[in-house]
Amino acid sequence: MEPATTIRSTIEDYIRKQGYTLQYFADISGVNAGTLSAIIKGTRPIAMAQLDLITQGMNLEEGYFYETYGAECFVESAPHWRRLEPFLQRCAELDKLDCIQRVIQQVTDDRSYISELFEMAEGMLERGQQQAARMLYECVAECEKYQHSERLALCQYRIFTLSLGQNQHDNLRAAVHFEPYINRLDEERQLDAIKDLANTYASLRYWDKSFSLADDLGRKAEIIQSYTKKKISKENRVTAYPLFVYQAYSNLLKANACERMGKYEDALRYTKQYENIVNIIDPDDEELLYINKFKGWGEVNTYLYYLFMGDNSMLSTYVQYIENNQSELLPALVNIMEAANKNNMNVDDILHKFEPQISSEESLIHGYSRQIKQNLFTSLLLEVSIYYLTRGRYEIGLKRLMECFSYAVRTNNQMDTIHCMTLFEEYRNLASKEIHNKYKLLVAEVRSYYEKAENTLYDLA
């Protein structure tokens, strides 16, 4: 289609070339003949529903005219919300993100639609149209007149959660960008935002930062709880969880950070605190669900912290627990391997038992966000490779190390990438030719990534 060709002229040409009468095409398309005539003459605008019917009548793919429609209705002329809303929604349904991007760039000149775009983004998010929703949130954030408004902060929160993915560098950048907006959210919504941000920093292994945010989470949850006189139903509250969950989760995060920093006694203390918090009298079904979760975490983490402190008698109990709670298998395997490497424990039987899970990330998909799961799986491969290498089983140790290196490169996990390279150099002379070749390919990938990043910086400059 030539750029100067309009939708109306295309319809008119199609009818003429097919030898149809206007009435016949009206019958096969389902659009009233009078309406069709007015559309072709240009005396009546084309509604989205009519455009879809005409497209179907012409045997064209869904959305065939959307790019032209967007240009004619919203770029070359002033947009009207009554027509803009169904257009954006249909583009989201058909995943025509380029059309959305072109149109909303034009809409930014008219701030009167900002509220409508925000509400539409919220609806798209609920329907799982995440990429389209993010485009609208970014448009609203860019056009928001009041920089301390709650709507701007909520847009930035949505953009943050939609930005999280496999690339650890991008996740860190998203977290740093979003953090200044947290206090501009309403008090209750801040709880979910702080929780998500603390989880992100924990997955990035910024333990001090995760601990600080967890402490803030617990303090704010306690304040809100103090002036909330009665229980708020799930349907009427702003928060995703009951308030006590945030207080308990605060202590869980702090226990996790302490464990990662080697402060096992502090980790035990925070574990006792969240176990006490969930001792609620007469809980409802939803509360009981979370009570059981925290009690389960408290039990297994108590075993773990004693295990880290060198109490090997806890190992069999810990393994038995995770066999009955498969959702905890991935973090538990990471913990077992770390304890084994720290305390020189023999866990060959455990490695043999869970070999299928260790060999496939997909078998460990239960629970946790994808971001946290990827970080845990990389840690598992690294700890397993260290276990084998320090015991002189170099072939399998280096094989696992290359698997870890490959996964770290794929997720841009810079910390584990460096760790893998350092560890390989220590055992380089014991590596087979196959392992050397694999290592060279992965190093080339790392080099390529940083060259691209460097070029991007020059382009921006």
Q: Count other C-beta atoms under 10 Å from residue 458's C-beta.
A: 7
Query: Within a domain: residue 37?
Result: no
Query: Within a domain: residue 188?
Result: no
> pLDDT of 179-197, one tens digit each?
999 999 999 999 999 999 9
Report d(CA 182, CA 271) in Å as an integer: 27
Alpha helices (H) along 309-369: 314-323, 329-343, 348-353, 355-358
Query: Within a domain: residue 373?
Result: yes
Query: Within a domain: residue 394?
Result: yes
Q: Is the dihedral of CA 56, 62, 68, 72 positive or negative?
A: positive
Query: Within a domain: residue 332?
Result: no
Q: What is the pLDDT along the chain (461 residues), one digit of tens a residue?
A: 344 579 999 999 999 999 999 999 999 999 999 999 999 998 888 999 999 999 999 999 999 999 999 988 887 777 788 889 999 999 999 999 999 998 888 776 667 788 999 999 999 999 999 999 999 999 999 888 777 889 999 999 999 999 998 888 899 999 999 999 999 999 999 999 999 999 999 989 999 999 999 999 999 999 998 887 667 777 778 899 999 999 999 999 999 999 999 999 999 999 999 999 999 988 999 999 999 999 999 998 999 999 999 888 899 888 888 888 777 788 889 999 999 999 999 999 999 988 887 777 655 555 566 677 788 889 999 999 999 999 999 999 999 999 999 989 888 888 899 999 999 999 999 999 999 999 999 999 988 876 765 544 344 33
Query: Within a domain: residue 461?
Result: yes
Report d(CA 113, CA 100) in Å as an integer: 15
Report d(CA 217, CA 137) in Å as an integer: 25
36: tokens are 């069709």
H/E segment holding residue 177: helix 168-178
Question: Residue 68 carries which side chain, given as an amino acid letter?
Answer: T
Query: Within a domain: residue 110?
Result: no
Question: Residue 195 carries which side chain, given as an amino acid letter?
Answer: K
Domain tally, the chain: 1
H/E segment holding residue 407: helix 394-410
DSSP labels, 284-321: -HHHHHHHHHHHHHHHHHHHHHHHHTT-TTHHHHHHHH
Evaluate whether 354 touches 387 at the Cβ level (below 8 Å): no
> pLDDT of 232-252, one tens digit each?
777 778 899 999 999 999 999
Full residue range of the structural domain in which residue 389 is found: 347-461
Evaluate whether 378 touches 413 at the Cβ level (below 8 Å): yes
